[in-house]
Structures are given as structure tokens and as C-alpha cells.
Amino acid sequence: MGERRKFSREFKADAVRLVVEGGGGIADVARDLGIRADMLRRWKRQVEVEGGSAFPGSGRMVDRDEEVRRLQRQLRRVTMERDILKKALGIVSEDPS
């Protein structure tokens, strides 16, 4: 299997600009650039949704994604604490007879 190609933020932004400002179709621009049309379509959608914060780069998350990850970790911890307390309550409230 071939190595995955990586594209710079500038390349992605320029490719999307060619589609938006150049008036060319996604398939035509993608063929000219040597990339898949679905990839260019995804980049275009990302720019439409995220604007200037699109394509943050490797390892850098958008603030929204970072917040979601933090909340997921917190939810896992709180759920675990709740389960422990439920078990403890069950043990304490057992009838000794």
C-alpha cells in the first residue's frame, strides 16, 4: 500500500479557491491538481463550515474538538465514579442476616 500523501494548508486553500473563484467544477480542478474529487469536495465543505480555522495542521485541534475531547474524558471519569458509588451503596445496604 502506498504512503499517504500530505498536503499543506496553503495547497488546500488554493485548491478550494480555484473551485470557488475560478468557477471550475470540482472534478476538473481535482483532475488538474492530481487529487481525488471527493477530497477536494471535503476541503471545500471544511472551509465553508470552519472558515479561517480550516486545516489546523497535524496535532492541532480546533477549539471545539478540544472541548469535546475534554468533556468526553470528564464524562468517563464521572460515570466511573457513579458506578463505584452505586456498588458501595449496594454493599453497605445489604442485609447482614
pLDDT of residue 65: 75
Tens-digit pLDDT profile for residues 30-78? 999 999 999 899 888 888 887 776 776 665 566 777 788 889 999 999 9
pLDDT of residue 76: 95
Task: Give the CATH fold of the 1-58 domain.
Answer: Arc Repressor Mutant, subunit A (1.10.10)
Percent helix, strand and coil across the chain, each to the nearest 5: 70, 0, 30
pLDDT of residue 7: 83
CB atoms within 10 A of CB 51: 8
pLDDT of residue 23: 75
Q: For residues 10 and 8, give the distance between their C-alpha atoms in angstroms, rounded to a whole number.
A: 5
pLDDT of residue 71: 93
